Chains A and B, each alone.
Chain A
Amino acid sequence: MRDLRYLRGVTTLAYENERCIGCGNCILVCPHSVFARDGERKVRLADPDGCMECGACA
């Protein structure tokens, strides 16, 4: 949804690096490509403002 963006900096999405086991499921299920791989065993928030708080990744 690169052409359609909603408000900036409001999402409640939080990523806890220490608890991430790098399973990559969040990358699979997110409908807005919010996550990206960050090395072998972690992910990072590539686009937090794209999050619509659908809860799929939780």
Chain B
Amino acid sequence: MAGSKTSVCCGVSSAVAHAPHEKPGYRLLDFVVNFMETPAGSVPQVRTEVTRADRRATIGCRLGIGRDRYRIAPGIYATGKPVADSPVLVTANYKLSFDVLRSHLAGIHAWILVVETNGINVWCAAGKGSFSADEVAKQVVAVGLDKLVTHRRLILPQLAATGVAARQVKKQCGFEVVWGPVHARDIIAFLDGGLQASDAMRRVTFNLAERMKLIPVELTHLGKTTLIVLPALLLLSGISPGLFSIHAALTRGMLAFLAYLLAIVAGTVLAPALLPWLPGRAFSIKGVAIGMAASALLAIRTTGQLTKTEMLALALFIMALSSYLAMNFTGSTPFTSPTGVEKEMRRAIPAQAAGGLIAAVLWVSAGFL
């Protein structure tokens, strides 16, 4: 094999493609296709397709894996070949926000100004104060935006308004803020429509798909709790006239654990999914309603295995827990006000705690009947 170019140990030497922008010590991000030279320095041009690698990372992120480190470098990026009068779109440095924005910019020549929000999305960052007028002005100055464009206009996502005072941005860097649509999917219509957003583009929605996307993260939060709940249920179930019965712990414990799982499905999966159709305005009430349905299911599936007291105990347990879990979801919706949540929690938590306690007492005493 001497002389052959395809030697096994050294790889295919001729097939190594030369990466035009590689630099020692750096790794080129796969969404960058090229760099363009501008009066404000070299600017990365990004692709407007979201690749399979991006999508995989998104799924990981939704499951809560590496969620906190999902940030990209703040600064200026480009889609297409923007020029001096191209629009400047501002976004957070949470990669999902950035991915969603660029994926809706196919065929658009624009600048994207990414501000430092510590890898948090636009709305949350605006609420926490990191997506602020100070930060926007700071990035405008840092990238030398006045050298890049001749106009003095920034298009910000509408939801950034919670944190960004438009007047302050103008005062600090001379750029005027124009409020873009809530969703990046409307950005082309917004640009084509002379920077006017329709009423629908200004409104936040919370449809089934949007609600479902939040469920996996809510579920992963429950992992640790379950590790504590399972032994506790086994312990409570085993208490018997003869002090402790391992047999009871296992048989009754498994039924109690089944009730726990049903409560989770009801409160964490079904309550968010069926939100508009469940009765009541308070989420805790919606949680009780769906918990009631879950209890009925348990009663049907376990006929003959449970006494009336036991069934009552488990039904109470399911409703209290499902109510509590559904109420937790108020923290993830775009329409629940903090004052409302506080009012709901003040009333619901004592009721849920009482329900749980009565359920435990009934469950333990049923072991003696």
Contacts and interface: CB of A to CB of B under 8 A. Distances in A.
Contacts of B282: 7
B206 A4 contact: yes
A30 B203 CA distance: 8
A10 B162 contact: no
A12 B340 CA distance: 9
Interface residues of A, number: 25
Contacts of B140: none
B337 A1 contact: no
B21 interface: no
A25 B165 CA distance: 11
A10 to B, nearest CB: 5
Contact of B276 (A4, A6, A10): A4
A24 B276 CA distance: 31
A51 B338 CA distance: 10
Interface class of chain A by DSSP = loop
Interface string B334-355: 1111111001100000000000
Nearest to B336: A6
Contacts of B276: 3-4
B160 to A, nearest CB: 9
Contacts of B159: 31, 56
A56 B126 CA distance: 9
Given A4-B275, A5-B281, A6-B336, A29 B158 contact: yes
A6 B334 contact: no
Contacts of A56: 126, 158-159, 161-162
Contact of B337 (A3, A4, A11): A11
A39 interface: no
Contacts of B212: none
Q: Which 7 A-B pairs have the closest CB atoms?
A: A29-B161, A56-B161, A31-B204, A7-B340, A53-B337, A56-B162, A10-B340
